[in-house]
Chain A
Amino acid sequence: EDKVVQSPLSLVVHEGDTVTLNCSYEVTNFRSLLWYKQEKKAPTFLFMLTSSGIEKKSGRLSSILDKKELFSILNITATQTGDSAVYLCVINTGGFKTIFGAGTRLFVKA
């Protein structure tokens, strides 16, 4: 059975800390891995990763994929209170088939 496991489930840090969120997966057919940020409302797209070892960066956020070890990490440096959200890891297994992880809830204290 295909599955996506995120860890930790929740995390509390202080502003300015650096955090690493983990996503491991076991799927029969991997096409891409995506990260979303979900605040109070709709998830918003962060990154899509398809190739191993190539880091994607956007401001203080970065992500990398390891297709051999079947995981990805999402790094957030110099965290701010606005980073508080649930971060979702998603695997696309082909066409419209996507599998969502349960999410990591990040809370950044001022």
Chain B
Amino acid sequence: DVKVTQSSRYLVKRTGEKVFLECVQDMDHENMFWYRQDPGLGLRLIYFSYDVKMKEKGDIPEGYSVSREKKERFSLILESASTNQTSMYLCASSSKFTYNEQFFGPGTRLTVL
């Protein structure tokens, strides 16, 4: 059974704090993605990675950075959290052979006060 896990389901942070969201997949997938999901806006891509240490900006990378030191792990970093980063964050992974089909983690609901 394929699995994508995220480090926290719910997280509350204060403005200005550094926030780490971790995602781990056990499918040996090459590609990993970070999205945020907001009501009425759908999922928007923040960053993705197609290999270890490789990263590409998505549609809304501002205010975020990522790290992929190991194939199975993709971290999203908010260097200085702001209230407009309150959102649901979803991680996904896909194989380089069937890259269209993404497998999603359960999501982390982040609230920045």
Contacts and interface: CB of A to CB of B under 8 A. Distances in A.
B104 interface: yes
Q: From DSSP, what is the main secondary structure of chain B's interface residues?
A: strand
A96 B43 contact: no
Interface residues of A, number: 20
Contact of B101 (A4, A42, A45): A45
Contact of B100 (A32, A88, A100, A101): A32
Interface residue SS majority, chain A: strand
Interface residues of B, number: 24
Contacts of B31: 96
A102 B41 contact: yes
Interface of B: 4, 31, 33, 35, 39-45, 48, 50, 56, 90, 99-107
